[in-house]
């Protein structure tokens, strides 16, 4: 009898243990022991937390005690590192990475240097190789989603697809002849083809990208606005960026600002994402809010070009959706959004002579959920919440520059470097682990970009043009 009871006890004990193990929910990736910054509406944090991923979605987020509920194919024990939403670069031209450091101090650089340079060198090959280099830099710097405007944008899409990032990709439309389209009408037709090919892609959102109000005709801007609503896609553009733009539009419209002009022609709506928005007064900001226009703030490029400081503090007070961008790597020189943090916080404090303005947490908001809202992607990305896409990065807390940490937001804004990013996950897929990129050959990308840059250098020297 005793033996029978003992055997029954052992059987029941083992059954309970077995059932407990079997009852664990299977997940693909489990991040444990992280300092989790959700960036949700309540700014929930977990000093020691867990994020569980199944497929491309977040299925659990909470305190470390939740870890025992899950059985994962891959477990990342991040040992106190910061776990947060992937950064979202709201405006860039990734392929221009191949032009980085050319003509940095040239006056009126866009029209006197960049446009002629692009006319000479932009090709499918250049765009693809530049996009691969740009994607690599962004991935290693914690950017999981970016908004891009350029030519041959299908080559950028190809690079994005190969590496596994997420992107909003706009085919450029401009009144000048370009390598991929000789007229704006050609460019619009090319954009429609691009949209039809990529609409519905899980990670690529196709878009129209008129270069700016002053570099496109009123008719073409109206056409783009109409088609964007028909196709239900974004419109990416440079807006209220320069005095030249301001003067051209004022002359065209009888004195209106670029923002007021776009409203007057029916081109100001929730599909529009305006990059820079430096020259915007109170009435302009009110129009941005009224029409739910997203704004991409590019501090490094703005101050390097000496064009001014965007009134972002005022925009945020009026609840305009503002995200952070780097601009192209020929303008701000890097695609590292982390490098923007420090400048965004400090320059706005200096501009307003108030060190309490632009607190660190607001900068991190702009780089995550703010950019997601500006790009109309906040239902899917920008915060760590149940059911959202699993776009997640892990940032080391153990480098000298990140030690010690009292306030994680301050540490990210004022102390972090792009090299502190340890792991990157996009759409539930681990793209970088322990700073090793898993979806591309880093050396090959850099070697190809270096070789192409030598061709550019030799061509410029043969033309007698300075590379300084």
Q: Which of 81, 145, 164 is nearest to 394 (CA)?
A: 81
Domains in the chain (CATH in brackets) are 15-80 (2.30.40.10), 86-377 (3.20.20.140)
CA atoms of 264 and 213, how far apart (whole Å): 12
User: Who's near 119: CB < 8 A, 6+ residues apart?
Assistant: 178, 179
Within a 10 A sphere around the Cβ of 160, how many other Cβ atoms?
27
Please report the pLDDT score of residue 458 as a whole number. 85
DSSP state of 397: S
Q: Which two tokens stand for residue 232?
A: 């239900």
Only one residue has tokens 């002009």, namely 261
Q: Which two tokens stand for residue 373?
A: 């809202």
Kindly provide the residue ranges of all beta strands, DSSP E only, lying in 197-340, ordered along the sequence: 204-210, 235-239, 272-276, 294-297, 322-324
423 to each of 43, 77, 84, 280, how far by Cα in Å?
A: 22, 11, 11, 38
DSSP state of 348: H
Please report the pLDDT score of residue 462 as a whole number. 76
Please report the pLDDT score of residue 459 as a whole number. 80
Q: Confirm if 418 and 107 have CB atoms less than 8 A apart.
A: no
CA atoms of 396 and 400, how far apart (whole Å): 10
What CA dihedral angle connects 445, 420, 84 and 293, to 10 degrees? -60
62-67 contacts at long range (C-beta below 8 A, 24 or more positions apart) = 64/32, 64/33, 67/30, 67/32
CA atoms of 146 and 94, how far apart (whole Å): 9
Give the end-to-end CA distance of the chain in Å, rounded to a whole number.
93
DSSP state of 66: G
Cis previous bond, 404, omega within 30: yes
Phi, psi of 112 (to 5 degrees): -90, -20
CA atoms of 259 and 250, how far apart (whole Å): 11
Strands 322-324 and 392-395 come out as unpaired
CA atoms of 312 and 366, how far apart (whole Å): 10
Q: Mutual orientation of helices 124-140 and 442-462 as an angle, nearest 10°?
A: 130
Q: What is the pTM of this model?
A: 0.94
User: Who's near 164: CB < 8 A, 6+ residues apart?
Assistant: 203, 426, 427, 429, 431, 439
Strands 166-173 and 436-437 come out as unpaired
| DSSP conformation letters of 304-338 | HTT-----HHHHHHTT--EEE----TTTTS---HH
Phi-psi label, residue 266: left if phi above 0, alpha if psi -120 to 50, beta otherwise: left
CA atoms of 55 and 199, how far apart (whole Å): 21
Cα-to-chain-centroid distance, residue 29: 23
Tens digits of pLDDT across the chain (468 residues): 444 454 444 444 444 444 444 589 999 999 999 999 999 999 999 999 999 999 999 999 999 999 999 999 999 999 999 999 999 999 999 999 999 988 778 777 777 777 888 888 899 999 999 999 999 999 999 999 999 999 999 999 999 999 999 999 999 999 999 999 999 999 999 999 999 999 999 999 999 999 999 999 999 999 999 999 999 999 999 999 999 999 999 999 999 999 999 999 999 999 999 999 999 999 999 999 999 999 999 999 999 989 999 999 999 999 999 999 999 988 888 999 999 999 999 999 999 999 999 999 999 999 999 999 999 999 999 999 999 999 999 999 999 999 999 999 999 999 999 999 999 999 999 999 999 999 999 999 999 999 999 988 888 777 766 665
Please report the pLDDT score of residue 89 as a whole number. 98
Cα dihedral sign for 99, 103, 104, 109? negative
């Amino acid at each position: 009898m005793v033996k029978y009871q003992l055997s029954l006890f052992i059987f029941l004990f083992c059954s309970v243990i077995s059932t407990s193990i079997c009852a664990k929910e299977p997940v693909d990736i489990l991040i444990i022991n992280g300092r989790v910054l959700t960036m949700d509406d309540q700014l929930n944090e977990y000093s020691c937390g867990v994020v569980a991923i199944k497929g491309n979605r977040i299925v659990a987020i909470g305190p470390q005690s939740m870890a025992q509920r899950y059985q994962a194919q891959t477990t990342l024990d991040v040992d106190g590192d910061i776990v947060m939403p992937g950064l979202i670069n709201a405006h860039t031209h990734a392929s221009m990475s191949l032009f980085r450091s050319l003509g940095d101090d040239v006056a009126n650089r866009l029209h006197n240097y960049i446009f002629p340079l692009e006319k000479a060198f932009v090709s499918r090959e250049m765009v693809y190789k530049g996009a691969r280099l740009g994607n690599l830099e962004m991935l290693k710097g914690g950017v999981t989603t970016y908004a891009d405007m350029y030519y041959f944008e299908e080559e950028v899409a190809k690079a994005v697809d190969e590496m596994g990032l997420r992107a909003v990709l706009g085919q450029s439309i401009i009144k000048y002849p370009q390598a991929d389209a000789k007229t704006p009408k050609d460019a619009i037709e090319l954009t429609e083809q691009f949209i039809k090919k990529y609409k519905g892609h899980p990670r690529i959102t196709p878009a129209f990208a008129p270069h700016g109000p002053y570099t496109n005709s009123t008719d073409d801007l109206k056409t783009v606005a109409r088609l964007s609503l028909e196709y239900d896609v974004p419109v990416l553009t440079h807006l209220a960026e320069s005095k030249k733009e301001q003067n051209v539009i004022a002359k065209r419209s009888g004195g209106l600002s670029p923002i007021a002009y776009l409203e007057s022609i029916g081109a100001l709506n929730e599909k529009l994402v305006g990059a820079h928005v430096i020259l915007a007064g109170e009435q302009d900001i009110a129009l941005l809010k009224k029409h739910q226009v997203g704004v991409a703030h590019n501090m490094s490029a703005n101050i390097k070009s000496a064009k001014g400081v965007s009134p972002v503090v005022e925009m945020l007070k009026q609840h305009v959706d503002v995200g952070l961008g780097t601009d192209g790597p020929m303008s701000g020189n890097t695609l590292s959004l982390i490098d923007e943090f420090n400048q965004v916080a400090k320059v706005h404090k200096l501009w307003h002579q108030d060190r309490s303005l632009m607190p660190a947490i607001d900068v991190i908001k702009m780089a995550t959920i703010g950019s997601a809202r500006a790009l109309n992607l906040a239902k899917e990305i920008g915060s760590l919440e149940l059911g959202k896409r699993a776009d997640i990065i892990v940032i080391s807390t153990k480098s000298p520059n990140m030690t010690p940490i009292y306030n994680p937001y301050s540490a990210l804004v004022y102390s972090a470097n792009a090299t502190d990013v340890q792991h990157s996950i996009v759409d539930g897929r681990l793209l970088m682990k322990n700073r090793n990129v898993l979806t591309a050959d880093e050396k090959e990308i850099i070697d190809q970009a270096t070789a192409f840059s030598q061709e550019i250098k030799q061509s410029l020297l043969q033309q007698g043009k300075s590379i300084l």
